[in-house]
Amino acid sequence: MSEASKSKGRFMTTEDRLKSAAAYLSGVKRLSVLSGAGISKESGIPTFREAQTGLWANYDPETLATQQGFLNDPSLVWRWYDSRRQRLAEVAPNNGHRALVDLEEWVEELTVITQNVDGLHALAGSSRVIELHGNISKIKCFEASHPAQNVPLGLNEPPLCHCGSLLRPDVVWFGEALPEFELSRAMQISRESELMLVIGTSGLVHPAASLPYQAKQHGAIILEVNPNRTPITEIADLFLQSPSAEILPAIISNLKDLKVRT
Ligand code: BV8
């Protein structure tokens, strides 16, 4: 039975899956990661589609994270991002982020393509990170994208840019194009990858969600880490149904054992 069909089998134990993941990883040189909000869950950051809690329980992120949402109520949207920035000041990368830093020692090329705006991959020490959706700690002006230096936390209203326009988070909102350089680089890396590790994404937000399909079409092996099945599970050669902060360190230690033995 082929590896792919075996991996779909119900009978593979977690141990089998860890060994299989390590075997796939040990055979590749060019590796990419596509990460989503799930990899930051164990750092204490709720995922994007989890029901919002507290003050934000009645707001839909997909409405707030838009130009119209900001223009409708600049103060509300500013305060939503400010509360997320303040939460970021209290969290740290978790064992999942750190496992990807470890992994750089064991493969020739590893690029992390992330949909997350929390900056935790770079903070953990990943050396090549592509932020497809920007970074919540960066600010720019609404009208002309003039970059602004760090803005104090706790403001209730968006400050003004030197050009007079409202300042806003430097993230990609729904309905906005992704940054050209980052997107084309991510597409090139996906097409050239021998293996893509897809971690903690529901695979619903495009064009980021198309990257595993592009990788697969160009011959890449797809490993998915997620406690839940997603549309990407259908094209995964191996699905590791587990939280990333648990399973990624276990995969890396299996890979180390394998590399040391061979
Ligand atoms: C664009 C920044 C065009 C803001 C974000 C219909 C079909 C296809 C596309 C569309 C469509 N209708 C509209 C669109 C386009 C739209 C889109 O895809 N909408 C979706 C919702 C249907 N896309 C856009 O608008 C994009 N732009 O298309 O522009 C264009 C072109 C030219 C000119 C003008 C315009 C822009 C999309 C970017 C939006 N910005 N973030 C902010 O953060 O405030 S996206 C936002 O969602 C976050 O970045 C988040 O990362 C991202 C994706 O979500 P996930 O990361 O997957 O998070 P999610 O919560 O969904 O899932 C978490 C997963 O983790 C789950 O699977 C869960 O099981 C798992 N998990 C949970 N715990 C763990 C775990 N995994 C591992 N370990 C755990 N412990």
For ligand 1, atom 34: residue with the closest CA: 177
pLDDT of residue 56: 73
Q: What is the pLDDT of residues 3-15, one digit of tens each?
A: 444 455 567 888 9
Q: How many residues does the chain have?
A: 262
Write down the CATH superfamily of domain 46-90+135-171.
Answer: SIR2/SIRT2 'Small Domain' (3.30.1600.10)
Q: What is the pLDDT of residues 53-79, one digit of tens each?
A: 666 778 888 889 999 999 999 999 999
For ligand 1, atom 21: residue with the closest CA: 205
Parallel, antiparallel, or unpaired for β 195-199 and 30-35? Answer: parallel
- Which residues have any ligand 1 atom within 6 Å of their CB? 36-39, 41-42, 47-49, 62, 65, 115-117, 133, 171-177, 200-202, 204-206, 225-228, 230, 243-244
For ligand 1, atom 22: residue with the closest CA: 205
| Cα(150) to centroid(ligand 1), Å | 26
Q: What is the pLDDT of residues 16-29, one digit of tens each?
A: 999 999 999 999 99
Residues annotated catalytic, as ranges: 133
Q: What is the pLDDT of residues 190-215, one digit of tens each?
A: 999 999 999 999 999 999 999 999 99
CATH topology of domain 1-43+93-133+178-262: Rossmann fold (3.40.50)
Domain ranges for the chain, please list them: 1-43+93-133+178-262, 46-90+135-171
Phi-psi region of 169 (alpha: psi -120 to 50; beta: other; left: phi over 0): beta
- pLDDT cut 90: percent of the chain above it: 84
Q: How many C-beta atoms lie closer than 10 Å to residue 13's C-beta? A: 8
The CA–CA distances, whole Å, from 4 to 56, 130, 238 equal 42, 29, 7
